[in-house]
């Protein structure tokens, strides 16, 4: 199984080796007619497509070796994250929350002390619900958040039960049969058109 460390360093190794080959290609250039070709053999005798195959094999080898040398992730943290566990009925572990945070949240819920730190009324001003004057940087941040679909109003911190229900919906693989067929047919049509254009103009 590939781990994130193996995938990352495999990508970095491929990037470094490919960059070295690219620099060599651009630094030496092509000799003019009648001039001897003094470029290294890695450029003159090793076609770039063959080099791409070698680079692909090198990346796969590095990814596999580094993954095997890395401590594997706990199986309960891989639920629905791999091909073999995609239909698992178990709920995946939330890696962002530690056990201490969950205990504190449960204790606050039991004591009735879990409240919003900032509510929507705190964000709005009193004069007709209009926002007060902001600095230029604040306006840029607000515009950027609006463009990216972010909200300035802090969202309510979910309880453990709400997180489980929300995660169940997000990680669900159920798909409407009509839209599934629609996407597959559309992909097939686009691939057919692309292959036609590639063959016609090649």
Cα separation of 114 and 105, whole Å?
A: 8
Cα separation of 202 and 181, whole Å?
A: 31
Question: What is the chain's alpha carbon radius of gyration, rounded to the nearest angstrom?
Answer: 28
Choice between 124 and 177, residue whose per-residue pLDDT is larger: 177
Cα separation of 37 and 24, whole Å?
A: 14
**pLDDT value at position 1?**
58
**pLDDT value at position 119?**
47
Two structure tokens written together for 99: 């056990």
pLDDT band at 185 (very low <50, low <70, confident <90, very high): very high
pLDDT band at 13 (very low <50, low <70, confident <90, very high): very high
Q: Which of 38-52, 90-104, 135-149, 176-190 is predicted least confidently?
A: 90-104
* pLDDT exceeds 60 at position 189: yes
Residues in CB range of 25: below 8 A, 6 or more apart:
43, 48
pTM: 0.47
Residues in CB range of 5: below 8 A, 6 or more apart:
66, 67, 70
User: What integer best gives the mean pLDDT of the chain?
Assistant: 77
In percent, how much of the chain has pLDDT > 70? Answer: 74
Q: If you average pLDDT over residues 172-198, what whole number do you get?
A: 91
Two structure tokens written together for 83: 């091909």
**pLDDT value at position 60?**
94
Query: What are the pLDDT digits (tens) for 86-138?
Result: 777 777 666 555 455 555 666 655 555 444 444 444 545 444 444 444 577 77
Task: Report DSSP letters for 128-171, one per residue.
Answer: TT------HHHHHHHHHHHHHT--SSPPPPPPHHHHHHHHHHHT
**pLDDT value at position 9?**
93
Cα separation of 194 and 57, whole Å?
A: 28
Cα separation of 158 and 163, whole Å?
A: 6
**pLDDT value at position 136?**
73
Two structure tokens written together for 15: 């990037």
Q: If you average pLDDT over residues 14-28, what whole number do you get?
A: 90
Two structure tokens written together for 182: 């629609």
Cα separation of 107 and 113, whole Å?
A: 9
Query: What are the pLDDT digits (tens) for 138-164?
Result: 788 888 888 877 766 666 777 778 877
């Amino acid at each position: 199984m590939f781990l994130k460390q193996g995938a990352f360093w495999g990508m970095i190794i491929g990037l470094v080796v490919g960059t070295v080959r690219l620099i060599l290609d651009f630094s030496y250039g092509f000799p003019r007619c009648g001039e001897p070709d003094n470029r290294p053999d890695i450029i003159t005798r090793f076609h770039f497509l063959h080099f791409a195959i070698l680079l692909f094999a090198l990346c796969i080898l590095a990814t596999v070796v580094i993954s095997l040398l890395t401590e594997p992730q706990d199986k309960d943290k891989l639920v629905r994250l791999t091909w073999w566990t995609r239909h698992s009925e178990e709920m995946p572990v939330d890696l962002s929350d530690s056990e201490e945070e969950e205990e504190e949240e449960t204790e606050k819920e039991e004591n009735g002390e879990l409240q919003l730190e900032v509510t929507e009324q705190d964000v709005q001003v009193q004069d007709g619900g209009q926002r007060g004057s902001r600095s230029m940087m604040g306006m840029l941040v607000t515009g950027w958040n609006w463009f990216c679909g972010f909200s300035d109003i802090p969202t309510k911190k979910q309880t453990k039960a709400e997180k489980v229900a929300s995660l169940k919906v997000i990680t669900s693989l159920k798909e409407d049969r009509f839209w599934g067929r629609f996407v597959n047919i559309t992909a097939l049509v686009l691939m057919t058109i692309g292959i036609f254009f590639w063959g016609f103009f090649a």
